[in-house]
Structure 1
Amino acid sequence: MTTKQSGIYFPAGVVEEFLPRIGRVVEINDHQLAVFRASDGTIFAADNHTPHPKGGPLAEGIVSGHYLYDPLYDWKIDLTTGLVQAPDNGQVQMYPVKVENGQVWIEI
């Protein structure tokens, strides 16, 4: 049996620094992340790189519900799984997020 080794959680800022539905770039240990706060307050962290073959940033995308609309290619990405929705395909690396006492922590 194999088990996934947990990463370490790093502070990314306080909740109020993440505006609803708008992405923000956070750098942690040479990882450039796009962090989003959904309208319901859920916070998501993803690689700040679209899975589209031509590449580009994700942090400039717009969040609707728990979906992100890629700013360059209008791909719809499920922020709970990182999966690009049909008819397109691909996946974004997502990172676990927790909030404690108003502080946002991201696991790398």
Structure 2
Amino acid sequence: MNWIDIGHVEDIPVLGARLLKTRIGCIAVFRTAEAEVFAASNACPHKGGPLAEGIVHGQKVTCPLHNWVFDLNTGEAQGADEGRIATYPVRLENNRILIDGDAVEQRSAA
């Protein structure tokens, strides 16, 4: 994996997200209450809602437009909704957020 440093964990508010602009589109980087980080497509497959503006709860995010809930580990929609968002490998190292640059290059974020 080609790990790219994209910032300090404190750059993202607890239970919040920040956008990472890439040549393939915007990727939302989420932070949970447990100081875990996840990266996923910013666009909800339902109506294109901006997931970075959604509600982070546990290891899930709820779309701000129509309340679709996505598991940040798998990208799968939860409950009765069907759909999936792309997810990207991330890790924390010395409080720095690293994303797998190879995965970002190989997938479409939106």
For normalisation by structure 1, the TM-score amounts to 0.86
Name which structure has the greater RCO, CA cutoff 8 Å, separation 6+. 2
Any conservation in 2 of the 1:47–1:92 contact (CA below 8 Å)? yes
Whole-Å Cα distance in 1 between the matches of residues 90 and 30 of structure 2?
A: 11
CA deviations 1:5-27 (Å, max 9, x no partner) are: x4x22221101101111121111
**Identical aligned residues as a percent:** 41
The match for 1:91 is 84
Any conservation in 1 of the 2:17–2:28 contact (CA below 8 Å)? yes
Please report how far the alpha carbon of residue 70 of structure 1 lies from its aligned counterpart in structure 2 after TM superposition: 0.6
Aligned amino acid, residue 40 of structure 2: A
Is there any run of 5+ residues in structure 2 with no aligned partner, and where? 105-110
**Deviant stretches of 4+, over 4 Å:** none
Count how many residue pairs are aligned between Structure 1 and Structure 2.
101
Whole-Å Cα distance in 2 between the matches of residues 101 and 65 of structure 1?
A: 22
Whole-Å Cα distance in 2 between the matches of residues 10 and 49 of structure 1?
A: 22
The match for 2:93 is 100
Whole-Å Cα distance in 2 between the matches of residues 61 and 23 of structure 1?
A: 8
Please report how far the alpha carbon of residue 99 of structure 1 lies from its aligned counterpart in structure 2 after TM superposition: 1.2
Alignment of 1:1-108 (within 5 A): 6=1, 8-52=2-46, 54-107=47-100, 108=104
Q: CA RMSD in A?
A: 1.3
Is there any run of 5+ residues in structure 1 with no aligned partner, and where? 1-5
Q: Secondary structure at the match of 1:56?
A: coil
**Which structure carries more helix by proportion?**
2
For normalisation by structure 2, the TM-score amounts to 0.85
